[in-house]
Amino acid sequence: MNTMKGQSAVEYIMTYGWAILALMIVLAALVASGVLSPNYLVSEECSLGSNIPCSFAVYNEGGQTKMSLMVYNGFPYKIKITDMNVELRETGESFNFGTISTTPLESGANRTFHGTYTGPMVEANAIKRFSASVIYVSCAPEISESGGCSASGHTISGKVVARVLSE
């Protein structure tokens, strides 16, 4: 009876071995093509809440990683963006957006901010997660009789998930 176990194992391998080999070849092809990589499954997004929708581009240019971030004013009144911070969650290093224009942003209008990453250049085609915060002051008519803006800032936090584009 013991001799039959070996024969049974050989018959199993001979019968189903080709199917297992074909399955391994298909899996290897899928892994090699990048279809099964996590970067393929992660979608890009820019989320700063419903009142400040945003769109973005993160790209490498001249040996540096840069970001163009367009924010829209979804409030029913003017706002003034006073500060912006976008940092890489892995390292904590951020984009330097320079001096932020203090011109109020009309309701329904948008403005694009350009920043340069303070850390080393991020590899192209990598999916990176950033934490973002926008500090703004309200210019609602109820706030000031003279039509100015309030002095107290409000912070909106969100996230940006981006694929870094190559030069």
Report CA 155 to chain centroid distance, whole Å: 19
How many degrees, rounded to 5, is the angle at CA 28 between CA 17 and CA 125? 170
Count other C-beta atoms under 10 Å from residue 70's C-beta.
Answer: 14
Higher per-residue pLDDT: 40 or 8: 8
- How does pLDDT run across 97-142, given as a tens digit for each residue? 988 888 899 999 999 999 999 999 999 888 899 999 999 999 888 8
Helices (H), the chain: 2-33, 38-41
CATH number (2.60.34.10, 3.50.50.60, 3.30.365.10, 2.60.40.1480) of 43-163 reads 2.60.40.1480
The whole model's pTM is what?
0.72
Q: Does residue 161 have a pLDDT over 60?
A: yes
Please say whether the beta carbons of 139 and 149 come within 8 A: yes
